Amino acid sequence: MMRGLAIAALLMMALASACQHVPAERAQGPAWSLALHGGAGVIERASMTSDQEADYRAALAAAAAHGGDMLARGVSAIDVVEAVARLMEDDPRFNAGRGAVFTAEGRNELDASIMNGATLEAGAVAGLTATRNPISAARAVMDRSPHVMLSGPGADAFAASLGLDQVGPDYFFTEHRWAALERALRAQGATPPPRPAWAPAPDGAPQSPAADEPSRGTIGVVARDQDGDMAAATSTGGLSGKRWGRVGDAPIIGAGVYAQNGVCAISATGAGEYFIRLAIARSICALIEFTNASAQSAADALIQERLAALGGTGGVIVLGPDGEAAFSLNTPGMYRASFAAGEDAPTVAIFADE
């Protein structure tokens, strides 16, 4: 009898504390919302022309508007993050899909992940070389395999077996990323690999939108739909000049991506080795879930304090329980945008002081 009462009391306490994690009044917010990023790093006004800056702002606004339009039409968060991530993967400005950085051997090896906050299902791929849209391969791992993560040729073969677009290495090749690899290797005293035979003929002067930040970048999208479901997606080419099958945080669930309904949707960008060690995305989410921290203070605790203390650099985009967007970065810039129901147009920012 006493035991039964004690268990009932414990259950009541557990229920009460579960309710405390996401108080109803915090779970209102806009009818839908999204945020996205196109990578963080040494992105400074002085290293961009005004045309380059305007070009980036337009691309970020267009991607956010596309996602906002889908959410306004009632499309699910998981479909929206995949669709917007695909758009950004296809855009050679960003280090993901077409426009990815090169490995030291002169290849493109792509990582991506996706998470559905409604179910806590997740999918990830690492080291793809032939699948046009790595984010859709990650989605297929989540939806159509019993696994969470696939890597290398097996992951490409899995994607191909499901009919996902496969492309030759020339598809991913961009002049500005090739030039960045050559610069980076020469700076290390290493000899760049010969220009690949399959590379398109040089198309004139290399165009690097942010010439001083050639070495990394990522894209990420987080969304909350009209049902309150949350999702997150992250996709990257990783670090320029990476070796030995290096994999960063982008495809690691809990490091570069996390989503949990009523709590958070997060995508990260930065020096992946630090983001993995701090389990940044899940740690931010846990702070929100267990301490009731705001999305902004949770993000700042990890990025401005923990990451900085370890010597890591980068940033995150976060949607909190109410769908409000928060950004935190400890780099000079992060390409980013947000858009929510009731707003006329996306808000776009690049530099840290915006």
Quickly tell me which residue has 């002081």 as its tokens: 353
Contact 34, 61 (CB under 8 A): no
Residues 45 and 33: their CA atoms lie apart, in Å, by 28
Nearer to ligand ASP, 39 or 346 (CB): 39
Contact 315, 300 (CB under 8 A): no
Nearer to ligand ASP, 131 or 261 (CB): 131
Burial class (CB in 10 A: 0-12, 13-18, 19+), 200: exposed
At closest approach, how far in Å is the CB of 316 from ligand ASP? 10
Cα angle vertex 242, ends 52, 284, to 5°?
75
At closest approach, how far in Å is the CB of 10 from ligand ASP? 41
At closest approach, how far in Å is the CB of 216 from ligand ASP? 3
At closest approach, how far in Å is the CB of 181 from ligand ASP? 15
SS3 assignment, position 314: strand
At closest approach, how far in Å is the CB of 239 from ligand ASP? 6
At closest approach, how far in Å is the CB of 41 from ligand ASP? 6
Phi/psi region, residue 220 (left: phi>0; alpha: psi -120 to 50; beta: rest), is beta
Q: Among residues 22, 48, 67, 69, which one has the least CA distance to residue 263?
A: 22
Cα→Cα distances 276→95, 280, 287, 289, 307, Å = 19, 7, 17, 20, 11
Nearer to ligand ASP, 78 or 268 (CB): 268
Q: Among residues 112, 76, 74, which one has the least CA distance to residue 96?
A: 112
Nearer to ligand ASP, 29 or 254 (CB): 254
Phi/psi region, residue 274 (left: phi>0; alpha: psi -120 to 50; beta: rest), is alpha
Token output for 269: 């960008």
At closest approach, how far in Å is the CB of 217 from ligand ASP? 5
Measure CA of the first residue to CA of the last residue in the chain; give whole Å: 61
Nearer to ligand ASP, 22 or 329 (CB): 329
Token output for 142: 């989540």
Nearer to ligand ASP, 29 or 38 (CB): 38
Token output for 240: 């320029």
- Among the listed residues 129, 218, 234, 331, the single catalytic one is 218
Contact 135, 251 (CB under 8 A): no
Residues that bind ligand ASP (CB under 6 A): 39, 216-218, 236, 238-239, 248-250, 269-270, 272
Residue type, 171: Y
Q: Among residues 272, 242, 246, which one has the least CA distance to residue 181?
A: 242
Q: Is 131 a catalytic residue?
A: no
User: Catalytic site residues?
Assistant: 218
